[in-house]
Amino acid sequence: MSWAAGTLILLGALLAFSGSLGLARLKTFYERVHPPTMGTTLGTGLILLGSMLHFSALEARPVLHEILIGVFMTLSTPVTYLLLVRAALHRDRAKGRDPLHGAPEGDQGER
């Protein structure tokens, strides 16, 4: 049991680390949006699973309240990144550098 929990936590932390590595290394903002998503999706999921396994074994009863953080992250992650990308597009356009200009068709009009 402790092997499984340890491996899950280690893998989750590794994903969160590579997410931040990508954030620090990639060249443009729109590329940098992608890597941190690793930490918020699978990274968080694995660490929560590991924590559930560990506490369930420790207290000899199922400990499931980690699901709360999981549900919350599932709801908040897309909203955060959707808002941020929208804000970045808006700011780029305001500066006269629309990244979608000349990009594939379907870039006119904002909802």
Minimum distance, C-beta of residue 98 to other proteins, in the bound complex (Å): 11
* Residue 98 engages other proteins in binding (rule: CB under 8 A): no
Cβ atoms 89, 30 nearer than 8 A: no
**Residues 38-77 vs other proteins: string with x where CB under 8 A?**
xxxxxxx--xx-xx--xx--x----xxxxxxx--xxx-xx
Contact residue for other proteins among 49, 56, 60, 86 (CB under 8 A): 86
Total residues contacting other proteins by CB under 8 A comes to 85
**Cα 49–Cα 50–Cα 53 angle in degrees, nearest 5:** 85
Restricted to residues 1-30, the positions that interact with other proteins (CB under 8 A) are 1-3, 5-7, 9-10, 12-30
* Residue-wise DSSP of 81-97: HHHHHHHHHHHHHHTT-
- The closest of 74, 73, 51 to 62, measured between CA atoms, is 51
